């Protein structure tokens, strides 16, 4: 579902067909000691840059390996800590993008791709540094594509708030999430890459002037769901101290692959590998050329019968119970455990997440004919058995709530987009916030500002009223294709960045009344009286209660009256 994410378009052609080891070393005549840092793995030489708004100097250290290249026998394996190097590593260019299939061209990137970038205002020539809080960004892209290129996720605005910014690449698609549902390939390698980079940060960030005891992870879409999974992962405990999720949760229906072995066999069959024993199957898949494995991945997805409304094919999955498992039970089960701790948390959504599909919806209407059977609208995590009488009852309730008596093929576009938004995003995001709010300070937002930043067509061409999936990103990052020209865009961006940086520094998004934030105080989500507080982010900030109240009450009643526990997502 999220593989049509339009953000990918802006960087596809910047990273075509990178391959080979990207490590470069500085020869003696080009060494600049004032730009060098000594890390646990060796010496790096970065570069000096300047922020866009204020022209403040900062230093970038790009393309630093945080794990061994996951090639050969390390394909479909946990990341392995990187080896030390000799010489001075030239850390002035991003490392390879992780190899990924795309909708535009066949594939891009390289398997040798586990690289991290660090941006800091702390001068490397200053021996004793005042430690600054650290932000670690996890990109989205449906676990199918994505990368950390600075032209897309420029750190300028966060750096101007005196925080350190870390970005990195992690494995996606078949390379990051192939699972055999057993120990032959337990899966979740992309999430394990994320944990490995957090370990690297723990070991090295002090050298950049970062505080290893003040680390905030944040992500968008699949990156936000990754943040949610990391908060559940035993191996990630203690590696971060706050978390922020934009438009995603481990409880969103798309965020869990429910039939990983079926998908793995589909890929193998497309590659001409017929092997019933999973151990031998994985050995043979490791020997395939990576571009042929991409071909098999794409072929398998064309034939895939998995319903995208109920889980992406290559996504986190429940692993067999073993010491390195990220997820050994359903995320909702784990979230409900009283013993499972949490950290201060900001989570939220855009006012009409599904609007990202507004321009292609008319082309998809013929596909809606299959959804005229109302049971097709039922989330799989309700666990209603096929052909059970509840199927028709629940399907009709969902259809009537969102579409009335009209066939879906002629339904109002806004109705369809609200159904996508509520079912795929809001109910999971809000349910996670409610559960986490019982354990740690939790803040919920809705991003409602409809500006030019983030909107990939002229604002006048919006077909529906609402902020689409991923639009909020460019009010945090500098994107070379998304430049603010309107004063309101700039004002909202400054407010949003200030709110987030306050949280990164203190665990509270509005620790004091601040004129720049309209003297507003953002309360925690759980009000104690049954209402759910949330911050509505627009030109004027405002605190409201109970987002999409009638729709969320509808879904809560459906799960209460017809669901069969245990649920995996929500």
How many CB atoms sit inside 10 A of residue 417's CB?
22
111 tagged catalytic: no
What phi and psi, each to the nearest 5 degrees, are found at residue 151?
-65, -20
Stretch (H or E) spanning 157: helix 156-159
Instruction: List, in order, residues 6 or more apart from 528 with CB less than 8 Å away.
Output: none
Look at the chain and count its residues: 570
What phi and psi, each to the nearest 5 degrees, are found at residue 81?
-50, 140
| 3-class SS of residue 168 | strand
Instruction: List, in order, residues 6 or more apart from 516 with CB less than 8 Å away.
Output: 494, 495, 498
- Please give the span between the terminal C-alpha atoms of the chain, in angstroms, as a whole number: 17
**Residue with structure tokens 């990630």?**
236
What phi and psi, each to the nearest 5 degrees, are found at residue 446?
-125, 125
Q: Tell me if 311 sits within 8 A of 331, measured CB to CB.
A: no
Rounded distance between C-alpha atoms, residue 407 and residue 259, angstroms? 30
H and E: helices and strands count for the chain: 15, 16
Rounded distance between C-alpha atoms, residue 424 and residue 256, angstroms? 12
Beta strand 43-45 with 36-38 is: antiparallel
| 3-class SS of residue 190 | helix
Of 244, 241, 205, 202, nearest to 223 (Cα)? 244
Rounded distance between C-alpha atoms, residue 195 and residue 31, angstroms? 32
- Catalytic-labelled residue, pool 160, 353, 391, 432: 353
| 3-class SS of residue 89 | strand
Q: Tell me if 447 sits within 8 A of 350, measured CB to CB.
A: yes
Rounded distance between C-alpha atoms, residue 139 and residue 136, angstroms? 10
- Catalytic-labelled residue, pool 22, 179, 214, 221: 221
- Catalytic-labelled residue, pool 5, 107, 455, 469: 469
Of 424, 476, 481, 428, nearest to 457 (Cα)? 481
221 tagged catalytic: yes
Question: Could you tell me how far CA 305 lies from the centroid of its own chain?
Answer: 25
Residues designated as active site: 221, 353, 469
């Amino acid at each position: 579902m999220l593989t049509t994410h339009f953000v990918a378009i802006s960087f596809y052609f910047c990273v075509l067909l990178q391959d080979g080891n990207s490590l470069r070393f500085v020869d003696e005549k080009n060494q600049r000691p004032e730009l060098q840092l000594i890390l646990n793995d060796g010496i790096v030489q970065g570069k000096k840059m300047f922020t866009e708004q204020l022209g403040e100097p900062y230093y970038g250290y790009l393309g630093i390996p945080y794990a061994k290249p996951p090639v050969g026998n390390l394909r479909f394996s946990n990341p392995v800590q990187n080896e030390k190097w000799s010489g001075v590593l030239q850390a002035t260019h991003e490392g390879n993008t992780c190899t990924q299939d795309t909708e535009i061209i066949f594939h891009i990137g390289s398997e040798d791709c586990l690289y991290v970038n660090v941006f800091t205002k702390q001068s490397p020539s200053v021996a004793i540094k005042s430690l600054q809080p650290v932000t670690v960004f996890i990109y989205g892209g449906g676990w199918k594509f994505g990368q950390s290129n600075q032209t897309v996720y420029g750190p300028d605005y966060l750096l101007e708030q005196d925080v350190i910014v870390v970005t990195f690449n992690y494995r996606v698609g078949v390379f990051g999430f192939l699972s055999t549902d057993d120990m032959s390939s337990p899966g979740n390698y992309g999430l394990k890459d994320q944990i490995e980079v957090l370990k690297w940060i723990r070991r090295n960030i002090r050298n950049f002037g970062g505080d290893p005891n003040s680390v905030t992870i944040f992500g968008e879409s699949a990156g936000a769901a990754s943040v949610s999974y990391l908060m559940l992962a035993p191996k990630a405990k203690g590696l971060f101290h706050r978390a922020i999720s934009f438009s995603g949760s481990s409880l969103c229906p798309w965020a869990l692959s429910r039939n990983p072995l079926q998908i793995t066999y589909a890929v193998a069959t497309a590659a001409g590998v017929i092997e019933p024993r999973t151990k031998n199957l994985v050995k043979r898949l490791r020997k395939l050329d990576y571009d042929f494995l991409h071909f098999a991945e794409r072929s398998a997805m064309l034939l895939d019968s998995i319903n995208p409304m109920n889980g992406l094919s290559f996504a986190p999955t429940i692993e067999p119970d073993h010491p390195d498992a990220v997820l050994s039970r359903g995320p909702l089960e784990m979230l409900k455990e009283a013993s499972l701790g949490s950290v201060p948390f900001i989570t939220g959504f855009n006012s009409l997440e599904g609007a990202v599909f507004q321009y292609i919806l008319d082309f998809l209407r013929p596909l809606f004919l299959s959804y005229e059977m109302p049971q097709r609208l039922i989330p799989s995590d309700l666990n209603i058995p096929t052909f059970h009488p509840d199927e028709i009852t629940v399907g009709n309730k969902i259809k009537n709530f969102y579409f009335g008596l009209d066939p879906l093929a002629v339904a109002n576009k806004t109705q369809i987009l609200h159904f996508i938004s509520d079912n795929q995003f809001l109910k999971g995001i809000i349910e996670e916030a409610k559960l986490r709010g019982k354990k740690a300070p939790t803040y919920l937002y809705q991003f409602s500002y409809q500006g030019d930043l983030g909107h990939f067509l002229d604002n006048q061409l919006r077909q529906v009223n609402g902020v689409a999936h991923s639009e909020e990103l460019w009010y945090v990052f500098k994107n070379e294709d998304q430049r603010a020209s309107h004063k309101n865009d700039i004002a909202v961006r400054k407010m949003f960045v200030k709110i987030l940086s306050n949280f990164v520094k203190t665990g509270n998004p509005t620790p004091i009344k601040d004129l720049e934030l309209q003297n507003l105080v953002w309360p925690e989500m759980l009000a104690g009286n049954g209402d759910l507080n949330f911050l509505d982010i627009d030109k004027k900030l405002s605190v409201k209660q109970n987002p999409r109240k009638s729709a969320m009450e509808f879904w809560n009643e459906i799960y209460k009256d017809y669901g069969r526990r245990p649920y995996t997502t929500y």
